[in-house]
Amino acid sequence: MPWLQFEMPLQWLAVGACVAGSGYFGIAGVVEFRRAQTTVNPHTPDKASTVVQSGVFRYTRNPMYLGLALLLIGAFFYWQNGVTLLVIIGFFAYLNRFQITPEERVLTQKYGQDYIRYLSRVRRWI
């Protein structure tokens, strides 16, 4: 859809910042999970051994998903096309509805008030 194409100054700076942020949040999230010796697999939240609240998890409950989102935002800046915005919106909508909400439900059942307090202290994204 060429009619949604646009040009942005400092394109490579924006792409680089998004890729760097993506790498940071993604790796930092995995490192904290490994330190806590809990599962990184998003399809098995019931196998979590603890609520990780240290490191990057003090600022965002979903650093690895945030890393993926930043990568998509970087793609938006790289391709400079509005269609990419639809992909990003779809990603957030899908992830919130079909991944994060079910994960939060399982973790709330498993960890109760400890997890509920964490939900009230730390934002879902950032």
| Helix residue ranges, H only, the chain | 11-35, 63-79, 83-94, 101-111, 113-121
Please give the model's pTM, rounded to 2 decimal places. Answer: 0.92
**pLDDT at position 94 over 80:** yes
88, 26 in Cβ contact below 8 A?
Answer: no
Distance in angstroms (rounded) separating the CA atoms of residues 26 and 64 = 4
70-79 pLDDT, tens digit each: 999 999 999 9
1-31 pLDDT, tens digit each: 777 778 888 999 999 999 999 999 999 999 9
